[in-house]
């Protein structure tokens, strides 16, 4: 009879430990990488973006305004303002399977643009975030 009295306590302890074990597993797997995939695109660090640019084969897209772009942008970036990305494919991005890295000033507009591009069917999108976190060279003017 004493075994049956302890059963509810053991059952309660087991039920309390299961969610904790699941949380621990989730945290360890997500903390193993500083880059994450969200909504059809992947967030990347400036270091990863720089390595991709050095390797080549990637289209770098600045999604800020014309004046922001002209004041300073990452060398080789083309300008496609976030506000112009809607429900039609941007002419400057004809290949929906090409690697595309987007950035803005702080990261908000680049996340929006990456999400919009994913919704348009682009398959290889990377969100660099903001140019304010870019530790490498920038250029000014209207030319990439």
Active-site residue (options: 49, 60, 104, 114)? 104
The DSSP annotation for 95-120 comes to -TTSEEEEEESSSHHHHHHHHHHHHT
23 in catalytic set:
no
Q: How many CA atoms lie within 13 A of 142 on its CB side?
A: 2
Quick one: three-class SS letters along 12-43?
HHHHHHHHHHHHHHHHHHHCCCCCCEECCEEE
* Residues in a beta bridge with 43: 127
Active site residues: 104
């Amino acid at each position: 009879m004493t075994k049956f009295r302890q059963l509810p306590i053991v059952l309660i302890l087991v039920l309390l430990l299961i969610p904790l074990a699941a949380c621990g597993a989730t945290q360890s797997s997500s903390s193993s990488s500083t880059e994450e995939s969200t909504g059809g695109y992947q967030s990347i660090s400036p270091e990863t973006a720089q390595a991709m640019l050095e390797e080549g084969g990637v289209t770098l897209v600045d999604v800020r305004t014309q004046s922001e772009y002209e004041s300073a942008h990452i060398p080789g970036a083309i300008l496609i303002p976030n506000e112009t990305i809607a429900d039609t494919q941007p002419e400057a991005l004809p290949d929906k399977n090409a690697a595309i890295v987007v950035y803005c000033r702080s990261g908000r507009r680049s996340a929006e643009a990456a999400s919009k591009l994913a919704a348009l069917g682009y398959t290889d999108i990377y969100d660099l975030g903001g140019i304010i976190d870019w530790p490498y060279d920038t250029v000014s003017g209207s030319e990439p």
